Amino acid sequence: MLDKARNKLVRFRDRVVLHERAWARDPEGHPARQDVILFSYALSLINPQWKNLEMEAAGELKQGGMIAVVDFHDSSYRWIKKYYASSHVKMDGQIYPFLQHHFKATHKEIRRAYGKLWSYFLFIGCAR
């Protein structure tokens, strides 16, 4: 995924640096401060630790830094929830309200997907 992102951001290579490393540590092992932390379809897979990761992310942002999350949200169909649960995805609308409570939103939306079988959300915000 980093290779794909680097290819898309090639014209910004002098301003954007993408890192792959252990969470929240710089190469010397010190807590890293980030401009942006992105979670893309990851939190719904990390249960029940996703809340801890979000709070750690808030602490790792630079002053004015942003958190960006896109992830599964919910479905009114039990069989869809069961299907995704078989892949360890918890789809019960739990993450979006948590983000709204702990971060000041600059952009937030919920959209329907795949013939309205399920929804996903996009949330961008900064630590309160």
23-74 tens-digit pLDDT? 556 667 666 678 888 999 999 999 889 999 888 888 888 889 999 999 999 9
Mean pLDDT of the chain: 88
Query: From CA 84, how far away is CA 114, in angstroms rounded?
Result: 13
- Identify whether 94 is part of a domain: yes
E strand or H helix at 68? strand 61-74
Among 68, 47, 46, which Cα is nearest to 57's?
A: 68
**Domain count for the chain:** 1
Q: Give the angle subtended at the CA of 86 by the CAs of 100 and 2, to the nearest 5°.
A: 60
Question: Quick check: helix, strand or coil at residue 29?
Answer: coil
- Residue 110's domain comprises 33-127
Q: What is the pLDDT at residue 9?
A: 86
CATH of the domain at 91: 3.40.50.150
